Structure 1
Amino acid sequence: MANDFDKAAKQYDTAFTHSVIGKAQRKRVYALLSEVLKKQNPKKILEINCGTGEDAFWLARQNYEVVATDISEAMIAVAQSKSDTANPVFFQADINDLPHPFSGEQFDLIFSNFGGLNCLSEIRLELFFKNAAELLSENGQLVLVIMPKNTKWEQFYFLAKANFQEAFRRKSHSAIANVDGQSVLTYYHNPSKTAALASGYFDLKTVHPIGFFVPPSYLEPHFSKKQKLVSFLDSCDIALANSGFLARHADHYLINLQKR
């Protein structure tokens, strides 16, 4: 898995971070994440699956102490090349090894953006919640952005192309996702399943759709020169940002959980 993301590291920012769709979806995440940060006011944040560091730098600019990790050595190298400041701190780590790389440390919030946790099966995801609870301080929170099974954009797009296999690929136990040209084994989890897997350690606070109207990033070639249309679709997402029932039908959803 690490090798797949290593290969995607060089073009990841161009393909997603700086894309029209990528920026629109990330703006929605930041708006919702800001609400959590304002209420909780965490001192120390752990980001997992940080990729090339875009979110870690954003969090650091909000004056939070940030530790950011990724399984991919190449992703971490790209992130480190962007700044020589002491905050955020980047290093390579596998989320399946938690909590061992942080022996004795505690965090107030753990953040994961844009489907990093979709690399985990249900069994692995439930184990992640157990390990995350050990790393969090009292009343610590998780803010996770995950891909669900029932994305309407994907279904409509591939049905229009008479590609029935791709239209419903997310509904299978696991599927192959294309990450900047690399094939990655991916597991899709609806919000209700994620909340159930976390329920032994966390209480559900909120769920929000990310990209119900704004399309998935692989449709960027169709939207890269349609900024006004993407802005309109984004305004629709803003209007329905608190419609939790749409979360299972969006490209991603943001789920906020609090440690018991």
Structure 2
Amino acid sequence: MIAEHPAGRAFDTMADTYDDDFTQSDVGQAQRSAVMKDAFRIFPGRRRLLELNCGTGEDALRFAENGWRVLALDASERMIACARVRRENLGARDNPQFRQVATEDLREIAGEFDGVFSNFSGLNCVRDLAPVARMLAEKTTPGSPLLLCMSTRVCLWETAWYLLHAKPAKAFRRWTGRHQAMLQGMPVDVYYPTLNTLKQAFRPHFRLRGVRAIGLFVPPSYVESWIQKRPLLLRIFVRLDAMFSRLPLLRKLGDHMLLHFEKTGEAV
């Protein structure tokens, strides 16, 4: 049940400060801007979009403002409550729709969608993505794009930053493919699949169309206090990300990978 979902419980404790800590941070805005630039290019306009792990609704609200009909899901009851408050403050009533549903429980939802979106590592809390891919195939129209932003297994920034701070355990915490994170004192298993593993998990229902790094030069969010004092450097990093984030090797070494899948004609 949702109430027992470990990631949902952990993010409940972070919901009230999440926007201040990340959404409105310099790093958060820089990384989100890169994701959304691709999202508005890839998704067909004014159609039905399913968002997984929507958090406080930042992206869902932006999609809705630009004509999409959005159903946004999250395992965290408190995140969904914050998202609904934000929607009401904007004067919206029924779009986006926000529901507390974990990614593993997608069969609970009804309807068909023309695209699927998940931002900033929510899917890294799911151990096995192959069943998720099958459920998404059941709920999407032919040719539907999936745009998934996931934490990488190797983040150059993270490794270098923590080695410079003499914290080797943190520097290499992703490299094994699994790490137990502590969120507000609550343990959450986080998984870091490779690009090849992700491609296999989504076959045969979805084919990979493109990959880019998010946060290759732009640093992870825990570097916010350092980069906030260096706005010019951040602007340079944003430009470097735009130039180099799609190169075959570098695209797997940022803080996140942005994966663009497309639904195939394979039977579910």
Q: Is TM more than 0.5 here?
A: yes
Q: Are the equivalent residues in 1 in contact too, given 2:212–2:252 (CA < 8 A)?
A: no
The answer to whether the 8 A contact 2:206-2:261 is kept is yes
Answering whether residue 64 of structure 2 is matched by residue 60 of structure 1, we say yes
Gaps of 5+ in 1: none
Equivalent runs, 1:193-208 vs 2, <5 Å: 193-208=197-212
- Rounded to whole Å, the distance in 2 between the matches of 1:155 and 1:192 is 21
CA distance in 2, matches of 1:177, 1:158: 16
- Partners of 1:233 and 1:177 in 2: CA distance: 27
In the superposition, relative to structure 1, how do residues 167 and 21 fare at CA in structure 2: closer, same or farther (>3 Å)?
same
State which of 63, 82, 95 in structure 1 corresponds to 2:86: 82
Q: 1:249 — aligned with what?
A: 253
Q: Judging changes above 3 Å, is the alpha-carbon distance between structure 1 residues 252 and 179 closer, same or farther for their aligned structure 2 residues?
A: farther
Give the structure with the larger helix fraction. 1
Distance 1:181 1:256 in 2: 34
Aligned: 1:19 with 2:25? yes
> What amino acid is the match of 2:168?
F
Q: CA contact under 8 A between 1:176 and 1:184: conserved in structure 2?
A: yes
**Larger CA deviation: 188-197 vs 22-31:** 188-197
Runs of 4 or more, structure 1, over 6 Å off, are: none
Q: Whole-Å Cα distance in 1 between the matches of residues 27 and 183 of structure 2?
A: 15
Equivalent in 94, 101, 113 of residue 102 of structure 2:
94
Could you list the per-position Cα deviations for residues 10-53 of structure 1 after superposition, in whole angstroms to 9, with x for gaps in the alignment? 1100110000100000010011112202xx44610000100000
* Matched-pair contact (CA < 8 Å) for 1:9–1:52: yes
Is 1:212 aligned to residue 216 of structure 2?
A: yes
- Using the TM superposition, give the Cα deviation of residue 179 of structure 1 relative to its aligned residue in structure 2, in angstroms: 4.6
What TM-score, normalized by structure 1, do the two folds share? Answer: 0.93
How far does residue 99 in structure 1 lie from its aligned partner after superposition? 2.1
Give the whole-Å Cα distance in 1 for the aligned partners of 2:174 and 2:141. Answer: 34
Alignment correspondent of 2:130: 126
Q: Structure 1: how far apart are the matches of 2:190 and 2:18?
A: 18
Structure 1 residues 244 and 52: alpha-carbon distance in aligned structure 2, compared to 1, 3 A threshold:
farther
What's the CA shift for 1:181? 6.5
CA distance in 1: counterparts of 2:245 and 2:165, whole angstroms: 29
Which residue of the other structure, out of 226, 230, 237, is the alignment partner of 1:233?
237
- What SS does the aligned partner of 2:154 have? coil
> Over aligned residues, Cα RMSD in angstroms?
1.5
Q: TM-score, normalised by structure 2?
A: 0.90
Aligned length: 254
User: How far is the alpha carbon of 1:178 from its aligned partner?
Assistant: 4.9
Correspondence list, 1:55-204, <5 A = 55-84=59-88, 85=92, 86-102=94-110, 105-121=111-127, 124-179=128-183, 183-204=187-208
**Shift of residue 256, structure 1, vs aligned partner:** 0.6
Is there any run of 5+ residues in structure 2 with no aligned partner, and where? 1-5
SS at match of 2:229: coil
Shift of 1:196: 1.7
**Paired residue secondary structure (1:172):** coil
